[in-house]
Amino acid sequence: MPLNRDFIGRSFPPTEPYEVSRVKIREFADAIGDPNPIYRDREAAKAAGHPDVVAPPTFPIVISLGGSAMADPELGLNYAMVVHGEQRFEYVRPVRAGDVLVCETTITEIRSIGNNEKLELRTEIKTAEGEPVCTAYNTIVERGA
Q: Is 23 in the site for other proteins (CB under 8 A)?
A: no
Q: Which residues of 101-114 are buried (b: 16+ CB within 10 A; e: fewer)?
A: bbbbbbbbebeeee
CA 138/CA 112 separation, integer angstroms: 16
CA distance 45 to 54: 7
Does residue number 10 form part of the binding site for other proteins (CB under 8 A)? no
Only one of the segments 2-10, 13-21, 45-53, 104-112 lies at the binding site for other proteins (rule: CB under 8 A); that segment is 45-53
- Nearest CB to other proteins, comparing residues 88 and 111: 88
Q: Are 7 and 107 in contact (CB under 8 A)?
A: yes
List residues bridging with 123 in a β-sheet.
105, 136
18 near other proteins (CB under 8 A): no
Rounded Cα distance between 109 and 104, Å, is 16
Closer of 13 and 31 to other proteins (Cβ): 31
Site for other proteins in 95-134 (CB under 8 A): none
Q: Which is nearer to other proteins, 106 or 139 (CB)?
A: 139
Catalog residues that contact other proteins under the rule CB under 8 A. Answer: 24, 27-28, 30-34, 36, 38-39, 47-50, 54-58, 61-62, 65, 80-81, 83-91, 93-94, 137
